[in-house]
Structure 1
Amino acid sequence: MKYVIKRLRRSDLTFFEYQYRIQNAGNQKSLNLTRRVFIDVLFPSAPEIAANNGEVGAPKPFHLPLTIYGPGERRIPQIVSRSVLPKTQKQKNWRLNGEFVRDPDEDPNRYHALAADDVGVLAFDGDAFPTAVTLVLLSQAEPGDLGLRTAVLEAINNKAMGVITRDLLARIIEREASPTHPIREVLDSTLDEVLEDAALGSSSAVRRLRNSGSARRMSAKALQNARRNAEVTGRNGELLLNDWLQAEVEAGHLRSAVWTAETNAISPWDFVVEENDGTRVRIEVKSTAGPFERNFHISQAEIEWAAEAEAPRTDLYRLSELQDGTASLRICRDIRAVAAQIVAATSGLGVGIVPDSYTISPVQFGTWSEAVAIEVPDEDDDEEDE
C-alpha cells in the first residue's frame, strides 16, 4: 500500500452528499489529488496508462473500490465503487470522483460533523496505477481522532497533501490510536492472510482475527470470499505446476507426470510423477500468494497416505509468491517420517475423535530445496493461414 495524508478543504467535503448540500463550495463532488503527490511520487505511469487506454483528449478513468472508515471509532466500513479521474483540459486536477458518498442507512448522520481541516488518510493499492483505495476520516469533532489528526499533519509538515511512510504511520498509530480505532485496518494487510486461514478452519487464525477487532473481516461474506480466494489460489497453483511438470517431461527430466487431482477430486495427493529411474512419486502441492514461511493446511487423509510404509514416497511442493502465472517453488522430498509422527501423536485421542486437518509451518517438514522461479511457458504463436 501507498499512504497519503490529505487535509480536507471545503471543496473536498462536497464528495459527501450531506456536505455538498450545506457547504456551498461549488459543484466539485470529489476529492482533489494533488499532482505533485499522486502522480509525481505515487503513480508516475498513471497519465500514460490512462491516455493509452482512453481516447484522444479523453484519458480513461481508473475504476476502483473505495472503502471508508470513520470518522471516529466507526469500524464498519462503507464500501462503494468510485473512479480516479485524470487531469484534462477542463479538469485541472486528478480527482477521486463518482457519485456522492451518502450517509449509510444504518448510520444516517455519519458524515454530518465533517468540517474543513479534517483529515483523510488514504491508502492506495496498485503499482503502476491505483487499483483500490481505503479512506480513513479523522474528524475534529471526534475525541478519538484528535491526536491522530495532529500527528499525521505534523508528519507532512501541515501541507495540504503529502506522502507518509508505512513505518512512520505505524508509529503514530501505535502512539495515538486506541486499540479498536479503524485506522489500524490500513496497516493490517496480514489480517487478510489470517482471514483466509480462518476460513480454512485454523483455530489460531480465528483467535487472532477475533482479537484484532477487524469488523470487516468477520462477516459471513468476508469469510466466504476468503474461502473462495484460497480455492482459487490452490487451483492456480496446481495449474502452474502442471504446466511446469509437463515441461519437465518434454525436457527429459521426468518420464511422466499425471495431474491426479484433476480427474479424482478426492485424491489425497495432487500429482503422480515417474522419475527417469522408474521411481513413482506422489506430489502434494501447497500454494500461497504470500511468502514461503506462511503456514499451510494439510488434511488428515493427506497425512495418512503420506505415512504409509509401503506406499510410494510423497514429496511436498510449496509454491509461494504465486501471482500472474509465476511462483517460487521449493520441494521437501519424502515427508513420510513427519507424517508418521503426526499419525502416531493423534492415534490415542480416543474412539470417534479424528482430526480433519492441521495447520503446519513449512519448517516442521525439515529440509527444503533451494527456491526455483517457475512460470507458465510461453506458447508459440499460431501460424498464419496461407
Structure 2
Amino acid sequence: MPRKLALKRLTASDLTLFKWHLQHHPAGRQKGFNLDTKILVDRLYPQLGEPALIPQPRFPLDLYLYGPGLAPANNLQRKILKQQKNWRLNGELIYNPVENPELYNVLVPGDYALFEFSGDVTPTTANVVLISCALTADAGIHAELVRRFPDGSMWVLEESLIQEVLARAMPPAGHPLYDWTETSFLEDAALGGAIGIEAINSRRGGRGISPEDFMRSRRNAEATGVAGEELLNAWLEGEQRAGCIQAFEWTASVNAVAPYDFRIIDADGGGRVVDAKSTVGGFSNPVHLSLTELMVAVHGPEPYDIYRLYEVGESGAKMRVARNIGQSLRNTLAALSALPEGVTVDGFSIRPGYLDFLEEEIPLIVASGEELL
C-alpha cells in the first residue's frame, strides 16, 4: 500500500534510451535507465531479489513519461530486466512524440527522473516525471533536487518531500509533479466524492485523470480500507484482552455488504456496531457513508459508531471515534423524503467536523515484524 516513489539522477548512458541522444551523444552500448539494486530491489521490490526461474528475467512495464516541463503523458510499453547484476528500464528506443519532435532533446546528464512504481510483487506500471534544468517550468524543482541530493544517483522518496520541493520551487500550474501530491483528492474521487473530483479538475486545468490512474486510485482506496480494518481488528483484540470490551466480531470479513464493519459487546454487556473509515490523508478528509449505512446508523437498533483512521501508512495510523452518529444524521436522512419519486441517493460525503468526534487521538502502531499490506 505505501507508494513506491524514487528519484534518479540521469547519466549520459541513461539518456541513450532516447533515440535522439543515442544518435547525437552515444555513451557506450547501453540503451536503458540503470536502476540501483539497493533501491529497486532492497527497498521497493524485495521479491525481485529471489532466485529467478529463468536467466535474465524480464518484467513488462506500462510506462507513462511526463515532461520535461509541462509535457503530458507519453504512454509506452517497455520492460524492466536484469542484465548480469544490473537492473534496467529497457526495451525499444524512445522517440520524440510526433506532436513535440524535440521534447527529449533538452535533457542532459544531471537532470532527473522521478518514478512512481505500481505493482505489489513486481513493477507493472511506472509513472515517470522528467525534470530538465534547461526549462523554466522545471528549473526551480531541479535546483531543489540538487540542493537536497548532492551525492548519489538514486533515492527512495516520501510524498511529504515532494510536497516540500513543490512548495519551495513553485512551478507553474499544470506541472505534472503536482499530480503526485493529490493523494487525498484522488482517494476521495475514487470513492465518488464530489470534493475530490472538483479539486482534481480545477488543479489540472480540466484534463482530469486518466482511466488507468483512476483505477489505480480506486485500488489504493480499497487497500487503505482493508488496512484500516486490519489495524482496528488488532486494536480491538487488545481492548478485549484488557477487559475494556467483552467481545467483538469482524463482520465485514465474512459479509462484504454488511452496513458496518465490526460488532462490539461493551464491558457492561451492551452491543454497538462500528464502521471503520480509513484514509491515507488527514483527519479532516471527508467520510463516505452509503445510504444503507446512514439508515442503520439512524434507525439502529444498536448505537452506530464511526472509527476514523487517518494517515494510514506502513507503520500504522491515528484514530478518533464518534459515538452514536445516528443522532447527528437523523435530519439528513429525513431530508431525503423530499426527493422526487424514482430518485435515490446512494451515498454521502460528510466532513468529520459535522460529527461529534471525541478529542482523544489513539495511535495504532504496526507491531515489529508485521506488515500493514
TM-score of the two chains, using structure 2 as the length reference: 0.71
- Amino acid corresponding to residue 14 of structure 1 in structure 2: T
Counterpart Cα distance in 2 of 1:258 and 1:136: 49
- Amino acid corresponding to residue 23 of structure 2 in structure 1: R
Counterpart Cα distance in 2 of 1:319 and 1:166: 24
Counterpart Cα distance in 1 of 2:91 and 2:276: 45
Structure 2 CA distance for partners of 1:25 and 1:201, relative to 1, 3 Å: same
Structure 2 CA distance for partners of 1:345 and 1:278, relative to 1, 3 Å: same
Q: Which of 7, 14, 17 lines up with 1:15 in the alignment?
A: 17
Q: Which deviates further from its counterpart, 192-201 or 23-32? A: 23-32
Q: Which of 97, 102, 116 lines up with 2:94 in the alignment?
A: 102
The aligned residue for residue 286 of structure 1 is 277
Q: What do residues 323-368 of structure 1 show as CA deviations (whole Å, max 9, x unaligned)? A: 3473323221121211213223443334333321111122221232
Counterpart Cα distance in 2 of 1:275 and 1:350: 41
Question: C-alpha displacement at 1:169, in angstroms?
Answer: 4.0
Alignment RMSD (CA, Å): 4.7
Question: C-alpha displacement at 1:265, in angstroms?
Answer: 3.1
The aligned residue for residue 245 of structure 2 is 254
* Kept in 1: contact 2:311–2:318 (CA 8 A): yes
Counterpart Cα distance in 1 of 2:209 and 2:250: 35
Question: C-alpha displacement at 1:209, in angstroms?
Answer: 1.5
The aligned residue for residue 56 of structure 2 is none
**Structure 2: segments with no counterpart, 5+ residues:** 53-59, 118-122
* Kept in 1: contact 2:64–2:73 (CA 8 A): no
Q: Which of 271, 294, 304 lines up with 1:303 in the alignment?
A: 294
The aligned residue for residue 383 of structure 1 is none
2:211 counterpart of 1:220: yes
Question: C-alpha displacement at 1:257, in angstroms?
Answer: 0.9
Counterpart Cα distance in 2 of 1:148 and 1:17: 22
Counterpart Cα distance in 2 of 1:231 and 1:17: 40
The aligned residue for residue 57 of structure 2 is none
- Amino acid corresponding to residue 209 of structure 2 in structure 1: M
* Kept in 2: contact 1:272–1:282 (CA 8 A): yes
Structure 2 CA distance for partners of 1:342 and 1:298, relative to 1, 3 Å: same
Residue 355 of structure 1 aligns to a residue whose secondary structure is: coil
Structure 2 CA distance for partners of 1:172 and 1:372, relative to 1, 3 Å: closer
The aligned residue for residue 28 of structure 1 is 30
Counterpart Cα distance in 1 of 2:219 and 2:127: 22
Structure 2 CA distance for partners of 1:83 and 1:200, relative to 1, 3 Å: same
The aligned residue for residue 363 of structure 1 is 353
Question: C-alpha displacement at 1:302, in angstroms?
Answer: 1.0
Counterpart Cα distance in 2 of 1:151 and 1:325: 29
Question: C-alpha displacement at 1:78, in angstroms?
Answer: 3.7
Counterpart Cα distance in 2 of 1:156 and 1:196: 31
**Structure 1: segments with no counterpart, 5+ residues:** 56-62, 380-386
Structure 2 CA distance for partners of 1:167 and 1:373, relative to 1, 3 Å: closer
Larger Rg: 1
Q: Which of 158, 162, 166 lines up with 1:170 in the alignment?
A: 166
Counterpart Cα distance in 1 of 2:199 and 2:32: 37
* Kept in 2: contact 1:194–1:205 (CA 8 A): yes
Residue 347 of structure 1 aligns to a residue whose secondary structure is: helix
TM-score of the two chains, using structure 1 as the length reference: 0.69
